[in-house]
Structure 1
Amino acid sequence: MIPQIETASLAEIKSFQEEKLRELLVYLKENSPYYRKLFDANNIAIENIQTLEDLSALPLTTKEDLQQHNDDFICVPRHDIIDYVTTSGTLGDPVTFALTDNDLERLAYNEAISFACVGITKEDVLQLTTTIDRRFMAGLAYFLGARKLGAGIIRVGAGIPELQWDSILKFKPTYLIAVPSFLLKLIEYAHNNGINLKTSGIKGAICIGEPLRNQDFSLNTLSQKIKESWDIELYSTYASTEMSTAFSECEAQQGGHHHPELIITEILDDTNTPVAPGEVGELTITTLGIEAMPLLRFKTGDIVIAHTAPCSCGRNTMRLGPVVGRKKQMIKYKGTTLYPPALHNILNAFSDVENFVIELSHNSIGTDEICIKIGTKTPTEALLKSIKDHFRAKLRVSPTIEYLNIEDIRNIQFPKLSRKPVLIIDKRP
């Protein structure tokens, strides 16, 4: 189930996207209060925007724009809105996104081709271990995508390893949809309760929320820990509410494939100029085929590398590597530039670290400070020294580390309205 456009030539893909871009601009001018004002204020004649290169003449859209003018992005009458979702609000107040019936169909299509990308067919059964409620788009997308693909889906929801295993043993799913670190909880429960992982019937896991790979696509520490105990395939998927689109790995596991029928991508540097091939930059997207709240040149805040070499799966689309980090979470610490995923990877290497949260702040002279709060059953000086030595060896710097009760950290990670674990608390102004 590879869409024809994804195996087309690069020239054909570009021509296709340019036609869709022109259609989008007309739609926005006619239906979007926000973009109509933006075009008028900047004297933009949309008929002059004909190619992907012309995108640079258009203003960028930010998360702050969405927060300040949320309702002005809606392009349809209220009675056409079928579903409301909100972003997680990691970097500010949550933003509301409205979806029409056609938007839900597009969401289902996106997830169906993403599942097919990793090799899932209608013969498979998926177990959903993330929430489908709480205005969360991802859980709904997974359900709709499995239904469109014709695969079965078991809606267990978040947490409760005992219930997850009850469903695995009873219904025999072949794939899990899960946050990678939760797979470690399932492994631990299986070991403690005499469950044979080798005969579980699980072939693989579609993983969200945490990185699985290093920038060279090798397995990171977290993935290695999972596969040491449970020999299943692990597939990365990257998405966001704003995009209503996923970048999912194929069976080659060399980055998340771009779906050109759903989204236009740019990778921009700090001056909002396209980066050179293979360079790090901020993913900026323009959504295609969305009715209620399409976005034009939206800066996602995610720092990524695009890969354009041919893929063995037959798709000719660009692939995104693992997210390097979020732009607003970049840390300048003792002369070294860091992103939280690098810290996560080091902490995940220690089996004695039960859980953790990273706190970012400014010191009295206004420079960045890092305090890592660790929960462990063995809070010894030897463990502390080992962790600090590992940080110095890998990153050349060692942050402040302190022990906290495991349950206290769990409460920090999962605040009352949380839909996914909070691993970063950024107190910087």
Structure 2
Amino acid sequence: MIPKIEQASTLEIKAFQEGKLVELLAYLNENSAYYKTVFSENNIDVHSIKTLEDLTKIPTTTKDQLQQYNDDFLCVPKSKIIDYVTTSGTLGDPVTFALTDNDLERLAYNEAISFACAGVNKEDVLQLMTTIDRRFMAGLAYFLGVRKLGAGIIRVGAGIPELQWDSILKFKPSYLIAVPSFLLKLIEHAEQHDIDLNNSGVKGAICIGEPLREQDFSLNSLSQKIKAKWNIELYSTYASTEMNTAFTECEQQQGGHHHPELIIVEILDEKDNPVAPGEVGELTISTLGVEGMPLLRFKTGDMVSAHKEACSCGRNTLRLGPVVGRKKQMIKYKGTTLYPPAMNNILNDFNEVDSYIIEISHNEIGTDEILIKIAAKATSEKLLQNIKDHFRAKLRVAPKIEFHDKKEIQKLQFPKMSRKPILVIDKRV
């Protein structure tokens, strides 16, 4: 189930996207109060934008603008809206997205081809371990995508290892849809209750919310821990509510594949210009085929690099490497530039660490400080020193680390209304 456009040549994909870009600009010029104002204030004739290179003539759209003028992005009358979702609000107030019937169909198509990319077919059964309620787009997208693919789905929702295992043993799903760190909790439950992990029928997991790989696509600490106990394939998927689109790994597991029929991708530097090939920059997207709230040159805040060589799976599309970090969460610490995912990888190396939260703040002279609060199976000065040594070896600096009660950490990780665990609290704003 590889769409023909994803097997086309690079030039054919570019020409196809430029045709879709012209359609998007005409649609926004007619229906979007926000983008009509942008075009007018910047004297932009949308008919003069014909190539992907021409995009740099248009200002980018930021999360702040999307929050401030949320209603002005709506391109259809309220009567056409079928579903409302909101962003998780990790870095600011949640933003509302209104979806039409066509948008839900597009979402289903996106997820169906994404699952197929990871090797899932209609003979498979998938167990959904994320919420489908609480205005969460991902859970809804997974459900619609599995349905469109013609596969089976078990909607268990987030958490509760006992219920997850009851469903796995009863319905024999071949794939799980889960946050990777939750797979460790499933492994722990299985070991405590004499469940044979590798005889459970699970072939793989489609993973959301946490990176699985290093920048060279080798398994990171979290993935290594999972695979050391459970012989399943792990597939990384990256998406956001604003994109209405996912980047999912194929069976080669060399980055998330771009669906050119659904989204235009730019990777930009600080001045909103394209970065050199292979360099890290901010992922900036323009959505194609979205009816309710399409976006043009929207800066996602995620720092990534692109891989453009053809993949042996047969797709010629761009692939995104693992997210290096959120641009707003970049930390300048003792002369070193850090992003939280690099710290996650180090902390995940330690089996003694149960859970943690990373707090970023400014000190009295205005420079960045890092405090890592850890809940451990057994606290000791030796463990603390080992963790700090590990930080110095990998990142050249060691942040302040404190032991805390597990319940206190969990309270910080799961505040009221949260739909996924929070690992970073940024107090610098």
Instruction: Give the 5 Å matches for 1:13-162.
Output: 13-162=13-162
1:173-199 superposed Cα distances (whole Å, 9 cap, x missing partner): 000000000000000000000100011
Q: SS state of the match for residue 360, structure 1? A: strand
Deviation at 1:272, TM superposition (A): 0.8
Aligned to 1:343: 343
Aligned to 1:8: 8
Partners of 1:310 and 1:30 lie apart in 2 by 37
Partners of 1:298 and 1:193 lie apart in 2 by 47
Q: Give the partner amino acid of 1:88.
A: S
Aligned to 2:188: 188
Is the counterpart of residue 198 in structure 1 residue 198 in structure 2? Answer: yes
Instruction: Give the 5 Å matches for 1:16-415.
Output: 16-415=16-415
Partners of 1:323 and 1:279 lie apart in 2 by 13
Deviation at 1:407, TM superposition (A): 1.0
Partners of 2:233 and 2:415 lie apart in 1 by 31
Partners of 1:77 and 1:391 lie apart in 2 by 53
1:55-110 superposed Cα distances (whole Å, 9 cap, x missing partner): 00001100001100000000000000000000000111000000000000000000
1:362-396 superposed Cα distances (whole Å, 9 cap, x missing partner): 00110000000000121111110110111111111
TM-score, normalization by structure 1: 1.00
Q: SS state of the match for residue 371, structure 2? A: strand
Q: SS state of the match for residue 158, structure 2? A: coil
Q: SS state of the match for residue 126, structure 1? A: strand
Q: Give the partner amino acid of 2:319.
A: R
Q: Give the partner amino acid of 2:19.
A: E
Partners of 2:251 and 2:370 lie apart in 1 by 37
Deviation at 1:309, TM superposition (A): 1.0
Partners of 2:262 and 2:218 lie apart in 1 by 28
Q: Give the partner amino acid of 1:219.
A: L
Partners of 2:64 and 2:176 lie apart in 1 by 35
Unaligned ranges ≥5, structure 1? none
Partners of 1:308 and 1:78 lie apart in 2 by 40
Q: SS state of the match for residue 133, structure 2? A: coil
Q: Give the partner amino acid of 1:54.
A: D
Q: SS state of the match for residue 278, structure 1? A: coil
Partners of 1:310 and 1:90 lie apart in 2 by 34
Q: For this pair of structures, how many residues does the alignment match?
A: 429
Partners of 2:167 and 2:411 lie apart in 1 by 27
Deviation at 1:253, TM superposition (A): 0.1
Deviation at 1:271, TM superposition (A): 1.0
Unaligned ranges ≥5, structure 2? none
Partners of 1:293 and 1:195 lie apart in 2 by 46
Aligned to 1:419: 419
Q: Give the partner amino acid of 2:102.
A: N
Partners of 1:368 and 1:23 lie apart in 2 by 45
Percent identical pairs in the alignment equals 76
Deviation at 1:423, TM superposition (A): 0.2
Partners of 1:200 and 1:298 lie apart in 2 by 42
4+ residue stretches of structure 1 with deviation over 4 A?
A: none
Partners of 2:246 and 2:198 lie apart in 1 by 30
Partners of 1:9 and 1:241 lie apart in 2 by 29
Q: Give the partner amino acid of 1:40.
A: S
Partners of 1:395 and 1:257 lie apart in 2 by 29
Q: Give the partner amino acid of 2:373.
A: K
Q: SS state of the match for residue 84, structure 2? A: strand
Q: Once superposed, what is the RMSD of the aligned Cα atoms?
A: 0.4
